Amino acid sequence: NDVEQLNALCSVCRTCDRLVEWREDVAEHKRASFAGEPYWGRPVPSYGDPMARLVIVGLAPAANGGNRTGRMFTGDRAGDWIYAALYRAGFAANETVSTAGDGQTLRGVRMIAPVRCAPPANKPAPDEKAACSGWFEREIALLPHLESMLALGGIAWHTTLAAAARMGWDVPRPRPKFGHGAVARLRTPEGRTVRLVGCYHVSQRNTFTGLLTREMLDDVMALAAAPASG
Ligand code: SF4
């Protein structure tokens, strides 16, 4: 389908020189640590249900997570948290993930990264975010049943608002502030409402320190999954 075609095109993108060099360098030097497993080292496609009502917006793949396995949030601790929460909410077939060949499937949910190549220090540069936003916007426009988006962290929140504005969506002014459990209502040109829900990122910095607990993640996932009310 169109979404899969888009992701196939994206998987060979080489627009950002710095990120192409980094993702391939990491693959070259870390491959030996994961002997026997294929190492992706390319743009990480979106993952999940093309008919999704809910989209999880991350930031960018982790160097040895998605960049290694080729599947979003797969192969690192942040991913363990998000897949477990999706399982508890009834969206994922399995509670745990190991590699891209673990039989996991998502129903009603799709994961999309606004930046699809792993950046050094997990920090994409402004021009890299701008370059990749085209992929993000094209994919969002291809999801006919989209009702809500769960933004993991402030960067995902602001990136999504900026992308929505560029796509001609009605975005509240002043721009809504990010917070855990914050909700912004966006309106597409066709008149559909899409809710943007904020969630602290599932990074170890937040989960180890208790800034984000399992209960907080479940609560905000339920908020994002609630049926649209207009
Ligand atoms: Fe292409 Fe996005 Fe990767 Fe840049 S970050 S090379 S635009 S896929």
pLDDT, tens only, 12-28: 999 999 999 988 887 77
Q: Which pLDDT belongs to residue 117?
A: 94
Ligand 1 atom closest to Cα of residue 124: 5
Q: How far is the CA of 6 from the centre of ligand 1 (A)?
A: 13
ipTM: 0.99
**Higher per-residue pLDDT: 17 or 40:** 17
Q: Which pLDDT belongs to residue 46?
A: 96
Task: Of 44-48, 60-64, 120-124, give the range with the top mean pLDDT.
Answer: 44-48
Does the domain at 2-225 match CATH 3.40.470.10? Answer given as yes
Sheet (strand 47-48) strand order: 47-48, 109-112, 54-57, 148-152, 193-199, 183-187
Question: Of 196, 104, 107, which Cα lies nearest the Cα of 152?
Answer: 196
How do strand 54-57 and strand 183-187 relate by DSSP bridges?
A: unpaired
Q: What is the mean pLDDT of the chain?
A: 92
Q: How far is the CA of 213 from the centre of ligand 1 (A)?
A: 32
Pull the structure tokens for residue 46: 């979106």
Phi-psi region of 210 (alpha: psi -120 to 50; beta: other; left: phi over 0): left
Other C-beta atoms within 10 Å of 204: how many?
Answer: 12
Q: Does 114 have pLDDT greater than 70? A: yes
CA dist., res. 42 & res. 116, Å (int)? 8
Q: Which pLDDT belongs to residue 227?
A: 80
| DSSP annotation of 175 | P
Q: Does 38 have pLDDT greater than 80? A: no
Kindly report, residue by residue over 169-213, the tens digit of the pLDDT.
999 999 999 999 999 999 999 999 999 999 999 998 999 999 999
Residues contacting ligand 1 via CB (< 6 Å): 10, 13-16, 19-20, 43, 115-117, 128, 131-132, 135
Q: Does 42 have pLDDT greater than 60? A: yes
Under a CB-based contact definition with an 8 Å cutoff, are residues 151 and 198 in contact?
yes
Read off the pLDDT of each residue in 115-125 and give the average, rounded to a whole number. Answer: 92
**Higher per-residue pLDDT: 117 or 64:** 117
What is the residue whose two structure tokens read 């602001």? 158
Ligand 1 atom closest to Cα of residue 131: 7
Question: Of 203, 188, 221, 167, which Cα lies nearest the Cα of 59?
Answer: 203
Find residue 92's DSSP bridge partners: 106
**What percentage of the chain carries pLDDT values higher than 70?**
97
CA dist., res. 131 & res. 137, Å (int)? 11
Ligand 1 mutation target, pool 132, 139, 159, most atoms within 8 A of CB: 132
In the chain, where does DSSP find H-type helix?
A: 2-10, 17-30, 66-69, 77-88, 126-141, 154-166, 204-209, 214-225
Q: How far is the CA of 19 from the centre of ligand 1 (A)?
A: 7
Pull the structure tokens for residue 41: 């080292």
Q: Where are the domains of the chain?
A: 2-225
Q: How far is the CA of 134 from the centre of ligand 1 (A)?
A: 9
Give the phi and the psi of residue 70 in degrees, each rounded to 5.
Answer: 85, 5
Q: Which pLDDT belongs to residue 39?
A: 78
**What percentage of the chain carries pLDDT values higher than 90?**
76
